[in-house]
Amino acid sequence: MRSHKFIAIFVFLGDFCLFYFSLYFALFLRNSFTPSPRNFEALQEPFLYLFIAWAFVLFIMDFYEAPFFRKSADFLRGLVVFFAITVGIGTAYFYLQPQLELTPRAILFLTAANFTATLSVWRYLLSFLFNLKNLKKKMIIIGFCEDLKEILNRNLSGYEIIGLYDIKGTAKEVGEDIKIENIAELKKISKNANIAVLTPQIKEDKKIIKEIFSSLPFRVYYIEFSTFYEEITKKIPLYSIDELWFLENISSPRKKLSETMKRIIEIFFSFFGLIFTAFLFPVIALLIKMDSRGPVLYKQERMGAGGNPFVLYKFRTMKKGEDTLWREKDKGEVTRVGSILRKIHLDEFPQFYNILKGDLSFVGPRPEWIKLAYRFEKEIPFYNLRYLVRPGLTGWAQLHYPPSTSIEEAKEKFKYDLYYIKNRSLSLDFVIILKTLRTVFLL
pLDDT surpassing 80 at residue 283: yes
The CATH number of whichever domain residue 144 belongs to comes to 3.40.50.720
Q: Are residues 171 and 300 in the same domain?
A: no
pLDDT surpassing 60 at residue 28: yes
Cβ atoms < 10 Å from Cβ of 345: 15
312 located within any domain: yes
Q: Are residues 396 and 257 in the same domain?
A: yes
238 located within any domain: no
3-state secondary structure of 196: strand
Predicted pLDDT at 200? 83
Q: Are residues 11 and 152 in the same domain?
A: no
Nearest of 58, 123, 146 to residue 412 by alpha carbon: 146
Q: Would you place residue 432 in the very low, low, confident or very high pLDDT band (cuts 50, 70, 90)?
A: very high
User: What would the pLDDT profile of 309-366 be if each residue is shown by its tens digit?
Assistant: 999 999 998 876 555 666 555 556 788 998 898 888 889 999 999 999 999 999 999 9
DSSP string covering 238-298, please? GGG-SHHHHHHHT--HHHHHHHHHHHHHHHHHHHHHHHHHHHHHHHHHHHHHHHSSS-SEE
**What distance in Å separates the CA atoms of residue 136 and residue 160, rounded to the nearest whole number?**
6
60 located within any domain: yes
Q: Are residues 340 and 380 in the same domain?
A: yes
Question: Tell me, what amino acid is at 280?
Answer: L
350 located within any domain: yes
Q: Are residues 278 and 149 in the same domain?
A: no
**What distance in Å separates the CA atoms of residue 91 and residue 114, rounded to the nearest whole number?**
16
245 located within any domain: no
Q: Are residues 80 and 214 in the same domain?
A: no
Nearest of 97, 109, 107, 18 to residue 58 by alpha carbon: 18
Q: Are residues 108 and 224 in the same domain?
A: no
**What phi and psi values does residue 194 have, to the nearest 5 degrees?**
-100, -30
Q: Are residues 161 and 224 in the same domain?
A: yes
242 located within any domain: no
195 located within any domain: yes
Query: Structural domain tally of the chain?
Result: 3
Q: Would you place residue 253 in the very low, low, confident or very high pLDDT band (cuts 50, 70, 90)?
A: low
246 located within any domain: no
Lowest model confidence (mean pLDDT) among 33-37, 38-42, 141-145, 170-174:
33-37
Total residues found in the chain within this entry = 443
Q: Are residues 227 and 263 in the same domain?
A: no
Predicted pLDDT at 124? 83
Residue ending a domain, among 233, 261, 293, is: 233
User: What would the pLDDT profile of 371-422 be if each residue is shown by its tens digit?
Assistant: 899 999 999 988 988 998 999 999 999 999 888 888 899 999 999 999 999 8
Q: Are residues 214 and 360 in the same domain?
A: no
Mean pLDDT of 239-246: 78
Q: Would you place residue 308 in the very low, low, confident or very high pLDDT band (cuts 50, 70, 90)?
A: very high
pLDDT surpassing 70 at residue 281: yes
Full residue range of the structural domain in which residue 215 is found = 133-233
Q: Are residues 189 and 216 in the same domain?
A: yes
Residue ending a domain, among 103, 130, 157, is: 130
Q: Would you place residue 235 in the very low, low, confident or very high pLDDT band (cuts 50, 70, 90)?
A: very high
Predicted pLDDT at 357? 94
Mean pLDDT of 185-209: 80
Side-chain-facing half-sphere of 128: CA atoms under 13 Å: 6
**What distance in Å separates the CA atoms of residue 107 and residue 24, rounded to the nearest whole number?**
9
Residue ending a domain, among 170, 198, 233, is: 233
Q: Are residues 109 and 41 in the same domain?
A: yes
What is the pTM (predicted TM-score) of this model? Answer: 0.81
pLDDT surpassing 60 at residue 274: yes
